[in-house]
Amino acid sequence: MKQRILLLVLALPFLFFSCDYSPSGEHYEEINPKPAVLADLTLHPDKDTLYVRGLILFDFSISLPGRALRMYQLKLDGTLLTEGYKDADTHAFISGNYGNGFHTLQLSAQGNSGTGSLADKVGAEVLEVYRTWTIYIENGPPAAVAITKVEPENGTLRLEWQQSSWRTFAKYELYRIRLGGPLELMASISDVKQTSWRDTTYIGGLVSYWITVSELQDSYDKYTTGPTYTYHYPLPTIVQQSYDAAHRLTVAFTTTPFYKNFESYALTSPQGLSYLSEVQTDTVVTFEDPGFGTDFAFRLVAYPKKVNKEYYYNTHSTYNKVAGYGTAWGPQPLASLWVNTQENLFYTGKDNWLEVTDASTLQVKHKRRTSFHTPEFPHLTVSANGQHVYAIENDTVYKLDPRTLESIAIYRIQALLSADGFYGNISLEGCSNTNRLVIGAKTSSYRDSIYVVDMHQKKLLKQQHSAAYPRETTISPDGKALRIYDAYLVEQGNGNWQKQAIGDTETTLRLIFHPDKPWYGIQTDTRLEFYAIHSGALQTAIATEVKLNRFSIDAASGFLYGTAENTLYVYNLETGRLVRKQKLAQNGIDIFLFKDKIFSSDRYIPL
Amino acid sequence: MQKLNLYLFVLLLPLVFDAAAQSGVYLELRAGAGTFGMKSMKELQQQAVHTSGIDAKTTDTFGPYVQFGANVLKDLNENTRAGIFVEHGSTGGRVSYRDYSGEILIDDLMSYNAVGGMLYSHYAIRESKLHFFSGMELNAFFSKLVHKEYWRIYTESAESEDTFKAIGVGIKPFVGLQYPVVHLPLRLSVGYMASASAPFHEPGKPKNKLTRNADGKSLEPGWSGLRLNLSVAFPLFGKDGKHSGVK
């Protein structure tokens, strides 16, 4: 019993505390977690799509009835622009910081959820409402447009380009630069939808176009230049040429497809050939015999309408070389060409070479290297009978084999002329059949002198100073007469040379010696008279149609020939009759007659 | 808490053995039920409801509950007994709110340990075994408050628990009937507890008193209320042996 009570007492404290009061009860509140949301977000300016450039003020306001706005955020493409706590605010939007094109502007507002729940009361529930606007940013300068196509169409040149999508488009400006020409503003177009234009002044040649796009930007224009489009339609050019039996020249040239832009053709040559036409299809031209002697450097131009012709001619004409008629053989330097009638050879000096050419086949037979000479100071001479051929190199005179040009004899110029003295500008002026060589040289007195040397005896026969220039001298085939510029000298029996009066200076300058006969010939107006060198008696005379500018005698055929204006006259000296009258392509060209041919520097025709 | 229990137990032991050394000593186990005024604590609940800003409710306002205790009594004379007793009682209050988003639960768990003395007189009714008795208890209260708060917002939750102590006194007059059942006297009494208490304070820091945020007033337990008590006595080593309990 005692133990039981003690145990009870010991158990009491545990009994006391083991069943303390436990509070009870629960209050559950039925709340709609998704109440209706009334919200209004407004933006000014407000449009379905906002077009923005430069700086714009976005005025926006937020209305969340029944809820407290905690924060708003304004975002562009998800990137925060600004945020704040006011229910109406303004944001200065600098559109230039963003790329051109479409963007999404979003205004979002956060408020409490408004459910009235515990989480709402403590701010753990957030309601977010947002609204988006599409904005299109377009800041200058405008996007460039490119020319996409340039092609002939209906007789003009049609250009097409991309249409500008620029909102604030103001105008297209179309520019052109033609070859060698100025920058031209061709068109200014304010209709954005117009994307083609016709160039009514283009006919051909290299041309570049480009477009600029301008926009209206406050008070000044901003513009962007598009890429250059280069177009080239070949300019008309000669493609065919032919001569008929009457030496009529027919040329055909290409035309231009830009017939509406066409105004006229002009085809001209320095020889005086000229063709003008305003008919676009007239591209075949026939000229009457244009004459012998040269090629024709035609310039062809097709003029468009409304053009400065001088500029256009200089920049848009084409050079068209049309060969003259006759058989080609040249080009030969006629001023450095000597004829050996007996051997039927031509000698020509070209640069550092002397060449021997067969006068019939025109094939080069031999060559000899020599020093450089200019035609002004001839370095070769041939006697009229073709037996004596001399050449000069520096201060050495060579006697050459007429057929091969190999050296036969060598002479020091100092030995031939005199023991001392300076000899410059040495030239060979002629050689008689009697082996009398005429040498021109500049002496120590700096005066041109003419020396006549008997090459058999190596004896100086005559020395004549001359102040005149050029030092043109000829010697008669018999070696008895000389013309030194405007002086005619004849050797007397005692070896003296006596000056003979035969006329005025011009007459003397035109004096020639007959290649076969001991005659000299002079010209008086249209009359040519030949006199015997010894007696001075008139031997023969012919009348020419016109006064010839120059005349000479071809030893091979015996014909006398000369030119006047652009005509070659060939006379039979014995009969005095006109053998041939040949039109030349232009005045003053070098022509010579040999045997049965008429030669120019690069062509020949039969006599 | 454990410490207090041990303390009480040690306190009680000499009394038991001291009583055992004398004659006419009873150990009486007691159990009862009572209501509690708790005016101050109820105000605290109302303030919690009010300041929560939500539709919280007080679902438990310190309702009646049972007490347990033990008396050690000695007969002073034929009709009077005096003794000492210990008692433990508890109650509690709750403020509750819950909706789809979360919940709030504020529980106030209150308990006391009382130590006191008692004196009563008993008289047989018509010479029967049934006795009427009336008396008085005087005791000290050692009160404890455990204030628990639990918050949950969706899946985030937080809770706190704070303990406060207070001391007080109480006086309870009572009347009742006694009847022996199987030689053991069974007593049923009804009384009213009038109590007064000092404010709650932090344990071990009596100067750190608990006050209400709303008005700055102090908080104290209110144990006053009706008491119903049933006790059964066991005679301890008495000269009268088992019969003393049947008197």
Q: What is the pLDDT of residues A47-96, one digit of tens each?
A: 888 888 888 999 999 999 888 899 999 999 999 999 999 999 999 999 98
Picking from A26, A29, A31, the nearest residue to B59 by CB comes out as A26
Q: What is the pLDDT of residues B210-236, one digit of tens each?
A: 888 777 888 999 999 999 999 998 887
Q: What pLDDT, on the 0 to 100 scale, is given for residue B21?
A: 43
Angle between helices B2-20 and A2-18 (to 10 degrees): 150
Q: Judge if A417 and A336 occupy the same domain.
A: yes
Q: Which pair of structure tokens corresponds to residue B225?
A: 């209320």
| Average model confidence (pLDDT) across chain A | 88
Pinpoint the alpha helices (H) of A255-362.
Answer: 309-316
Distances (CA, A) of B31 to A12, A591, B80, B188: 11, 163, 21, 10
Interface test with A, best of B11, B41, B52, B54 (most A CBs within 10 A): B54
Q: Judge if A257 and A359 occupy the same domain.
A: no
Q: Which residues of A51-65 are buried (b: 16+ CB within 10 A; e: fewer)?
A: ebbeebebebbbebe
The DSSP bridge partners found for residue B27 are B72, B234
Judge: B91–A19 Cβ closer than 8 Å, yes or no: no
User: Tokens 């400006």 appear where?
Assistant: A173
Query: In this structure, what CATH number is given to the domain that contains residue A273?
Result: 2.60.40.10
Q: Judge if A348 and A389 occupy the same domain.
A: yes
Q: Judge if A332 and A476 occupy the same domain.
A: yes
Listed range (A39-48, A84-93, A350-359, A443-452) with the worst mean pLDDT? A443-452
Q: What pLDDT, on the 0 to 100 scale, is given for residue B19?
A: 47
Residue A18 lies in a domain: no
Q: Judge if A221 and A164 occupy the same domain.
A: yes
Q: How far apart are CA A296 and CA A273, in angstroms?
A: 9
Judge: A23–B104 Cβ closer than 8 Å, yes or no: no
Q: How far apart are CA A305 and CA A201, in angstroms?
A: 6
Q: What is the pLDDT of residues B60-97, one digit of tens each?
A: 999 999 999 999 988 888 889 999 999 999 999 999 99
Q: How far apart are CA A64 and CA A57, in angstroms?
A: 23
Q: Judge if A471 and A361 occupy the same domain.
A: yes
Q: What is the pLDDT of residues A99-133, one digit of tens each?
A: 989 999 999 999 988 888 888 888 888 889 999 99
Question: Which residues of chain B from 50 to 109 reach within 8 Å of chain A, CB to CB?
Answer: 53-57, 59-60, 63, 65-66, 68-70, 86, 88, 90-94, 96-104, 107-109
User: Tokens 């450039």 appear where?
Assistant: A53
Distances (CA, A) of A192 to A196, A226, A321: 11, 15, 49
Which residues fall within 8 angstroms of residue A400, CB to CB, at 6 or more apart? A368, A389, A390, A391, A406, A407, A408
**Are β-strands A126-137 and A49-52 bridged in parallel, bridged antiparallel, or unpaired?**
parallel
- B4, closest residue in chain A (CA to CA): A13
Residue A191 lies in a domain: yes
Q: Which pair of structure tokens corresponds to residue B29?
A: 């186990």
Q: Which pair of structure tokens corresponds to residue A294?
A: 């040269």
Q: Which of A183, A211, A232 is the last residue of a domain?
A: A232
Q: What pLDDT, on the 0 to 100 scale, is given for residue B241?
A: 42
Q: What pLDDT, on the 0 to 100 scale, is given for residue B176?
A: 95
Judge: A21–B59 Cβ closer than 8 Å, yes or no: no
Judge: B66–A19 Cβ closer than 8 Å, yes or no: yes
Query: In this structure, what CATH number is given to the domain that contains residue A573?
Result: 2.130.10.10
Question: Which residues of chain B from 5 to 24 reach within 8 Å of chain A, CB to CB?
Answer: 5, 8-9, 12, 16
The reply to whether ipTM tops 0.90 is no
Picking from A25, A117, A124, the nearest residue to B100 by CB comes out as A117
Report domain extents, chain B. 2-120+137-172+193-246
- Residue A389 burial by Cβ neighbours in a 10 Å radius (0-12, 13-18, 19+): buried
Judge: A31–B99 Cβ closer than 8 Å, yes or no: yes
* Residue A448 banded pLDDT, cuts 50, 70, 90: confident
Listed range (A127-141, A454-468, A489-503) with the worst mean pLDDT? A454-468
Residue B10: which H helix or E strand, with range? Answer: helix B2-20
Considering only CB atoms, which chain A residues are within 8 Å of B92? 21-23
Q: How far apart are CA B105 and CA B149, in angstroms?
A: 6
Distance from CA of A114 to the nearest CA of B (A): 13
Q: Which of A232, A263, A282 is the last residue of a domain?
A: A232
Residue A132 lies in a domain: yes
Distance from CA of B224 to the nearest CA of A (A): 17
* Residue B1 banded pLDDT, cuts 50, 70, 90: very low
Instruction: Kindly tell me if the per-residue pLDDT of B240 is higher than 60.
Output: no
Residue A493 lies in a domain: no
Q: Which of A107, A137, A167 is the last residue of a domain?
A: A137
Q: What pLDDT, on the 0 to 100 scale, is given for residue A470?
A: 54
Q: What is the pLDDT of residues B89-131, one digit of tens each?
A: 999 999 999 999 999 999 999 999 999 999 999 999 988 889 9
Q: What pLDDT, on the 0 to 100 scale, is given for residue A423?
A: 73
Greater confidence (B17 vs A432) lies with A432
Considering only CB atoms, which chain A residues are within 8 Å of B72? none
Q: What pLDDT, on the 0 to 100 scale, is given for residue B53?
A: 81
Domain of residue A59, residue span: 40-137
Amino acid making up residue A365: K
Instruction: Kindly tell me if the per-residue pLDDT of A301 is higher than 90.
Output: yes
Q: How far apart are CA A200 and CA A263, in angstroms?
A: 11
The mean pLDDT value for A276-281 works out to: 92
Interface test with B, best of A10, A20, A121 (most B CBs within 10 A): A20
> What's the alpha-carbon Rg for chain B, to the nearest Å?
22
Q: Judge if A305 and A356 occupy the same domain.
A: no
Q: Judge if A334 and A474 occupy the same domain.
A: yes
Q: Judge if A462 and A371 occupy the same domain.
A: yes
Instruction: Kindly tell me if the per-residue pLDDT of A329 is higher than 60.
Output: yes
Q: What pLDDT, on the 0 to 100 scale, is given for residue B243?
A: 41
Distance from CA of B69 to the nearest CA of A (A): 7
Neighbours of A347 (CB within 10 A): 24
Q: How far apart are CA A117 and CA B103, in angstroms?
A: 10
Instruction: Kindly tell me if the per-residue pLDDT of B20 is higher than 60.
Output: no
Picking from B27, B29, B111, the nearest residue to A20 by CB comes out as B111
Considering only CB atoms, which chain A residues are within 8 Å of B56? 27
* Residue A422 banded pLDDT, cuts 50, 70, 90: low
Instruction: Kindly tell me if the per-residue pLDDT of A496 is higher than 60.
Output: yes
Name the domain count of chain A: 5
Q: How far apart are CA B38 and CA B40, in angstroms?
A: 6
Q: How far apart are CA A432 and CA A337, in angstroms?
A: 18
Picking from B16, B97, B154, the nearest residue to A9 by CB comes out as B16
Q: Which pair of structure tokens corresponds to residue B125?
A: 């009714």
Picking from A15, A21, A29, the nearest residue to B97 by CB comes out as A29
Instruction: Kindly tell me if the per-residue pLDDT of B17 is higher than 80.
Output: no
Judge: A5–B110 Cβ closer than 8 Å, yes or no: no
Residue A486 lies in a domain: no
Considering only CB atoms, which chain A residues are within 8 Å of B86? 12
